[in-house]
């Protein structure tokens, strides 16, 4: 099954403006939610430009990868980011 059938991407911005003009202290939230359970499986709070880049990469992988490969790849990336 494709990842986009199993997961939903939610991007929440703290402000109305685009990332390019965002305040330096603004944090946007990027969340991947499992459609069946409604539970959050991946979550990031990032500065606006980084959140936009991450959301773009997640959207691309949601359409390209199967569900298991998607979640494995992004959980590994999240763990590397956090230094786990």
Task: Kindly report the pTM of this predicted structure.
Answer: 0.85
Whether the Cβ atoms of residue 32 and residue 64 lie closer than 8 Å to each other: no
**Cα–Cα distance measured from residue 17 to residue 53, given in angstroms and rounded to the nearest whole number:** 16
pLDDT tens-digit map of 18-57: 655 566 778 999 999 999 999 999 999 999 889 999 999 9
Structure tokens belonging to residue 64: 């390209």
- Domain range for residue 77? 3-17+26-82
- The whole-angstrom separation of Cα 84 and Cα 59 is 25
Q: Looking at the 3D structure of the chain, how many domains does it have?
A: 1
* More reliable by pLDDT, 44 or 17: 44
Tokens 């202290």, located at residue: 25
Whether pLDDT at 78 is above 60: yes
């Amino acid at each position: 099954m494709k990842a986009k059938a199993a997961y939903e991407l939610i991007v929440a911005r703290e402000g109305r403006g685009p990332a390019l003009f965002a305040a330096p202290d603004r944090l946007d939230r990027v969340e991947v939610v499992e459609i069946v359970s409604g539970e959050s499986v991946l979550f990031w709070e990032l500065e606006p430009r980084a959140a936009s880049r991450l959301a773009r990469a997640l959207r691309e992988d949601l359409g390209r990868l199967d569900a298991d490969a998607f979640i494995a790849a992004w959980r590994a990336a999240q763990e590397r980011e956090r230094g786990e």
